[in-house]
Amino acid sequence: MEYKPHRYQEYATQKIIECPAVLLFLDMGLGKTVSTLTAIDLLLHDYFEVSRVLVIAPLRVAQNTWAREVEKWDHLRHLRISKVLGSVAQRRRALQADADIWITNRENTEWLVSEYGTRWPFDMVVIDESSSFKNHQSKRFRALRRVRPMIKRIVELTGTPAPNGLIDLWPQVYLADQGERLGKTITGYRDRYFIPAERDGHIVYKWRQKKEAEQRIFEAISDIAVSMKAEDWLELPPRVDRIVPVRLEGKARALYEQLE
């Protein structure tokens, strides 16, 4: 299929090319994957900025979505993909494959880092659904943090960067800029932008934003973050409601009434 990018897709692709660290906070349906793949292709074969690209994604996305997008678009079909999934032996074989992009699921992050150590080979990393790295105490965050200085370019994709509030942003932004914008530590980030809301002695269970914290945080990351909502960009035809009555009989009716 011929790729005819929308204006917002062109902007996202250009942002990835121009900025070594990018946070793409785009709603579902805005083409995050194809925009990123287009940028990867240009960085690999036109700009020669990167040579080995790693994509970390949820398992089903790693299994299907990225490869399907490469097969779908004419301008991407030459890209070679290797899926680093399955058993340890299967993963190691996939890592040895001749490819442009290696794709693994997020649960393999710690294993992958330990597999390479200081010989980390990927100069570009894409985190698909970066909110899965929102816990600064998780093994996957700590593992990627160790090799972050060896990564030349990083792209983080998600439609929900802060599902539990802006407290979730620090780990994701840290992986992008290594603490340049929101601070080197989660403690400093909390002290700067939040106050304890619920606590038991020294243990804080919930944090509340300080006045104007949201604006200050957004300003701090504005040069590397792109945020777009589907309702602002997608041009859809008017909705057509089609009502189809369904008659439930016997057991199905009883189960429905029980649920109701």
pLDDT of res. 149? 97
CA proximity to 73, closest of 46, 33, 108, 27: 33
Question: pLDDT tens digits for 193-237?
Answer: 999 988 888 888 888 999 999 999 999 999 999 998 876 666 767
pLDDT of res. 231? 66
Considering the domain boundaries, does residue 112 fall inside one? Answer: yes
Considering the domain boundaries, does residue 49 fall inside one? Answer: yes
Question: Distance between CA 38 and CA 33 in Å, rounded?
Answer: 9
Paired with 24 in beta bridges are 157, 226
pLDDT of res. 201? 81
Roughly how many angstroms between the first and final C-alpha of the chain, as a whole number?
45
Question: Distance between CA 259 and CA 43 in Å, rounded?
Answer: 53
pLDDT of res. 151? 98
| Region class of 103: left (phi > 0), else alpha (psi between -120 and 50), else beta | beta
Considering the domain boundaries, does residue 254 fall inside one? Answer: yes
Number of domains in the chain: 1
Residue ranges of the chain with per-residue pLDDT less than 70: 231-234, 236
Q: How many CB atoms lie within 10 A of CB 40?
A: 26
DSSP type of residue 239: P
pLDDT of res. 238? 85
- Which sign does the torsion angle of CA 227, 232, 236, 239 carry? positive
- Identify the residue whose tokens are 């932008």: 193
Q: Domain with 97 in it: what CATH number?
A: 3.40.50.10810
Q: What range does the domain containing 226 cover?
A: 7-259
pLDDT of res. 116? 97
Question: Distance between CA 213 and CA 258 in Å, rounded?
Answer: 47
CA proximity to 26, closest of 234, 239, 177, 235: 234
Q: Exposed/middle/buried for 21, CB within 10 Å: 0-12, 13-18, 19+?
A: buried
Q: How many CB atoms lie within 10 A of CB 201?
A: 5
Considering the domain boundaries, does residue 1 fall inside one? Answer: no
Considering the domain boundaries, does residue 2 fall inside one? Answer: no
